Structure 1
Amino acid sequence: MTRKRRSDAEHNQRRIVATARAAFAADGLDLPVREIARRAGIGVATVYRHFPSREDLIAAVLAEQVTRCEEEMRAALADPDSRRALRGTILRFAERQVRDRVLNEALLGSHAAGAAFTEQRRAHAQGFARLVERARHDGAVRQGVSTEDARVALRAISSFRAHPAERASTIPRLTDLLLSGVLTEE
């Protein structure tokens, strides 16, 4: 017999993940669990009851990030306007590079927790390729721009996340320039 989780336990878990997400994004993945508990306004034991280790908490935060990306990709693929779908996907990617630098580094870089999401990243890359191809078919992508070229644009944007925050603030300008190079005029 499975017991239904108490609503306060579910609320605490959501609050822990939300707090950890913001804390990790701002201060890095090495932030002590006790600091996350303090920011969430709950006891350390409560955090450990839901997430037995920091790695479990990091994995939960990354899983939430990946789920959000999957939902956004599904919405983009369902959007009948291929230009808007591709443009929006690139813009959201760029926004994440600024807002979620540490989380993206964990997902896309060398952090052990990111390895668990290899299949989801592969599916996301395939979805991005379908967006580019659909936009090319609709005439929204500049002549001669390939899917690989669009991926190079994403890599250029993501390369700035390793820079100090003041340099990463140039990501929106870079994104605008890259979009001009990838998409045709409206």
Structure 2
Amino acid sequence: MTETSAAASPLPGLRADARRNRDRIVETARDLFTERGPGVPMAAIARRAGIGTATLYRRFPTKESLLAAAYAEQFAECVAVVDDALADPDPWRGFRTMIGEICALQLADHGFSAAFLAGAGTEEPGRHRERAVRGFGELVARAQAAGRLRADFVPADLALAVAATAGLAALFPDDAAEASRRMTAFLIAGFAAGHGGPPLPPTPLTMRDLFDASRRAR
């Protein structure tokens, strides 16, 4: 269900050489975002791509627009994961599957979670992000209404799973996939209603807090 990435899609109105230049910028940016996170300076991206900073800004006026292009495919895939989970008639099964697939997506490209939180303006991946956030909120509400997801779980708690996955990828790169699956199983067990554990401490975060913190980090 993954859509074609922005880097690979033909762009109406661009000559072939302009498309090649744009593709090179997007590929370079994606590499640097993965290596150094979304805080990498635009000037560093321009240098590695072999272009001037002014040229980069003509193509991508903001960091958000470049993040959007670099991770267009991943944004679309994230939405597809949430849509598939919402389509499952069993909301708890859909929730469990979505958590596992989102963690796997983060593991495959740890730069994507930072890009997701950083936002993407009003471009298509930005709309994907908002759709994914709304869909996840709906999935949480359904699973809680079914009595399967603990009532004190909030959508921002997804950041805990994503952050933990990022930590595993950084500390244990050779074993991260297996370790992530085990960690995710532990998390899902803790998310389940009626597991017998104590109430969760109140969360200090909302999804908006996470987005704002990522923007400040850039």
TM exceeding 0.5: yes
Matched, 1:21 2:30: yes
- Cα distance, 1:157 vs structure 2: 1.5
1:175 maps to: 184
Question: Where do residues 54-133 of structure 1 align in structure 2 (5 Å cutoff)?
Answer: 56-61=65-70, 65-108=74-117, 114=119, 116=121, 121=129, 123-133=131-141
Matched, 1:33 2:45: yes
1:166 maps to: 171
Matched, 1:155 2:167: no
Q: Tell me if the contact between 1:33 and 1:54 (Cα under 8 Å) persists in the aligned partners.
A: no
Amino acid corresponding to residue 127 of structure 1 in structure 2: G
TM norm structure 2: 0.55
Stretches of structure 2 that go unaligned for 5 or more consecutive residues are 1-11, 194-218
Q: Tell me if the contact between 2:34 and 2:110 (Cα under 8 Å) persists in the aligned partners.
A: yes
TM norm structure 1: 0.61
Q: Tell me if the contact between 1:157 and 1:175 (Cα under 8 Å) persists in the aligned partners.
A: yes
Number of positions where the alignment pairs a residue of Structure 1 with one of Structure 2:
169
Amino acid corresponding to residue 180 of structure 1 in structure 2: A
Q: Tell me if the contact between 2:86 and 2:139 (Cα under 8 Å) persists in the aligned partners.
A: yes
Q: Tell me if the contact between 2:67 and 2:120 (Cα under 8 Å) persists in the aligned partners.
A: no
> CA separation in 2, counterparts of 1:77 and 1:177?
22
- Cα distance, 1:177 vs structure 2: 0.4
1:44 maps to: 51
1 or 2, which has the higher helix percentage? Answer: 1
Of 142, 155, 164, which residue of structure 2 is paired with 1:134? 142
Q: What is the root-mean-square deviation in Å for CA atoms of aligned residues?
A: 4.0
Stretches of structure 1 that go unaligned for 5 or more consecutive residues are 38-42
Amino acid corresponding to residue 177 of structure 1 in structure 2: F
Q: 1:86 to 1:19 in 2, by over 3 A?
A: farther
Name the % identity.
33
Q: Tell me if the contact between 1:153 and 1:178 (Cα under 8 Å) persists in the aligned partners.
A: no
Q: Tell me if the contact between 1:91 and 1:175 (Cα under 8 Å) persists in the aligned partners.
A: yes
1:28-60 deviations in Å (ceiling 9; x for gaps) = 3326224642xxxxx426x73633666642343
